[in-house]
Structure 1
Amino acid sequence: MILQIETATTSCSVALAQNGQVLAFKEINARNMHAQVITVYIDELIAQTGGTYASLDAIAVSCGPGSYTGLRIGVSTAKGLCYALDKPLIAVETLAAMAGGAAAENGIDSNTLLCPMIDARRMEVYTAVFTATGEMIKPTAAEIIDTNSFSDILAARQVLFFGDGADKCIDTLGHNPNARFLRNFVNSATHLTGLALEKFNRGEFEDVAYFEPYYLKDFIAGKKAGEN
């Protein structure tokens, strides 16, 4: 049984999966709730499924890119459990999990490309491009979106944009007939299931002592009210 944690965006989501099937999950999509609910959700899922912490085989965490604070909370929780329980840690790239979740939930045509987007600042997003089968064809990057973004790909293929970063790009990219938008997509720990199982079966685990989230960009703290 794998405990799966997703905190890379405003969504705080936890799931339990066994043999590639989700047994139960709990999640909330709200800002600044991660630290308050994550351990409560984990306790509730363990109790709900009749398991124990000792019965877990591994802990998987969405490792970024995404919110600095959200990633820090999710990875710290996962590492703490791995230390306490002596369980392996599995890191799942957030954008890859999003692409897999969108493909599984929406019956994506094999010719359509998937472009998950995580909101950064202003018109910047964290993004990558995947085929419907999960192959990454444009690597993860921080992109400032303008009317020419993805023009080479959109000239030849339909592209499905989704995630909280895509919502702010509709006016900029929506003029292209090959640009499609999946609205109201929310990151979920359930999206980690397939990738986490593949890594578990390959024994692809992280060094718990040294593992850090994939922030992609350095953290820039905002000024508090009244500061010059």
Structure 2
Amino acid sequence: MSKLLLSLETSSPVCSVALHRLDDGQLLGQSELRLEKSHSSHLSVLIHHLLENTLHTLQDVAGVAVSDGPGSYTGLRIGAAAAKGLCYALDIPLLAVSTLRSLAYQVASRTARPEQYLYCPMLDARRMEVYAAIYRPDATEVLAPTPLILEEATLAEHLAHHSLLFFGGGAQKFQPLVASNPHAEFLAAIEPSAVAVGALGVAAYHRQEFQSVAYYEPFYLKEVHTTTPKNKAGQ
């Protein structure tokens, strides 16, 4: 029986899991849940049901790919903890796939004549800031993941020379600022998916791009700030 890659995507409000065959990359199944703040209680249930519905068990899984970020701090922590726990228990490799790269791959793979665009996924980072990157149709990097403050001049150099396709939870904030630019096009309702994470994860598995199960941490892109509750300040 072919060995499988289990993929987890928890960087956004959508909790998503997918199962691919490692020998040929075929998608065997996927499952997702669109409930806010549900990842910690439902991720393991989604994994169990996906394996059960595809007539497999955890013993058939030869690797776990996890969405690496950027994205929701809590969501990324939940996904990383689940992936590391599975890899440790099963003694199998851990793979990390960029959330932005997988979003770009997801859109490019479904776009007619994909070569006519560069792909710019944007994830909301509150106010007028986003996490963004730019990729070619084959998911190679043009602009590395970076936090961007959205203004009319944002990405002006890229938009002057290329047609860019914008999508993801942060793209709608940018659309009014470049509405008159004919090189800017926008897609709505594009969410991160474990299917794209798994497709890129299969390739990474064969390149043996494995992470340390003990020391892996998600790519948050920005430092996480915490505050002390007022009732504990000064104690």
TM-score, length-normalised on structure 1?
0.95
Q: Counterparts of 1:28 and 1:183 in 2: how far apart (Å)?
A: 19
Match for residue 137 of structure 2?
A: 132
The residue type paired with residue 60 of structure 1 is A
Render the CA deviation track for 1:206-226: whole Å, top value 9, x for unaligned: 010000000111113478799
Match for residue 142 of structure 1?
A: 147
Q: Is the 8 A contact 2:20 2:199 kept in 1?
A: no
Q: Is the 8 A contact 1:65 1:214 kept in 2?
A: yes
Match for residue 38 of structure 1?
A: 43
Q: Is the 8 A contact 2:16 2:193 kept in 1?
A: yes
TM-score, length-normalised on structure 2?
0.92
Q: Counterparts of 2:108 and 2:231 in 1: how far apart (Å)?
A: 46
> How much does 1:176 deviate?
1.2
Percent identity, aligned pairs only? 40
Matched, 1:52 2:57: yes
Match for residue 6 of structure 1?
A: 9
Cα distance, 1:30–1:107 mapped onto 2, change above 3 Å: farther
Q: Is the 8 A contact 1:117 1:126 kept in 2?
A: yes
Match for residue 208 of structure 1?
A: 213
Q: Is the 8 A contact 2:40 2:78 kept in 1?
A: yes
> How much does 1:65 deviate?
0.8
Q: Give the counterpart of 2:184 among 163, 179, 191.
A: 179
Q: Give the counterpart of 2:166 among 155, 161, 181.
A: 161
Cα distance, 1:99–1:143 mapped onto 2, change above 3 Å: same
Question: Which one is further off, 100-109 or 76-85?
Answer: 100-109
> How much does 1:92 deviate?
0.5
Q: Counterparts of 1:174 and 1:133 in 2: how far apart (Å)?
A: 27
Match for residue 71 of structure 1?
A: 76
Q: Counterparts of 2:175 and 2:55 in 1: how far apart (Å)?
A: 44
Render the CA deviation track for 1:73-114: whole Å, top value 9, x for unaligned: 001000000111111101111111111001112335302100
Q: Is the 8 A contact 2:31 2:50 kept in 1?
A: yes
Tell me, which stretches of 5 or more residues in structure 1 are unaligned?
none
> How much does 1:133 deviate?
1.6
Q: Is the 8 A contact 1:108 1:132 kept in 2?
A: no
Alignment of 1:182-193 (within 5 A): 182-193=187-198
Q: Counterparts of 1:3 and 1:187 in 2: how far apart (Å)?
A: 16
Render the CA deviation track for 1:142-194: whole Å, top value 9, x for unaligned: 11110001111111111000000112221122221111001110111001133
Q: Counterparts of 2:128 and 2:229 in 1: how far apart (Å)?
A: 23
> How much does 1:71 deviate?
0.3
Matched, 1:152 2:157: yes
The residue type paired with residue 160 of structure 1 is L
> How much does 1:128 deviate?
0.5
Matched, 1:62 2:57: no
Cα distance, 1:119–1:155 mapped onto 2, change above 3 Å: same
Matched, 1:15 2:18: yes
Matched, 1:116 2:99: no
Q: CA RMSD in A?
A: 1.8
Cα distance, 1:175–1:188 mapped onto 2, change above 3 Å: same
Q: Counterparts of 2:124 and 2:107 in 1: how far apart (Å)?
A: 17
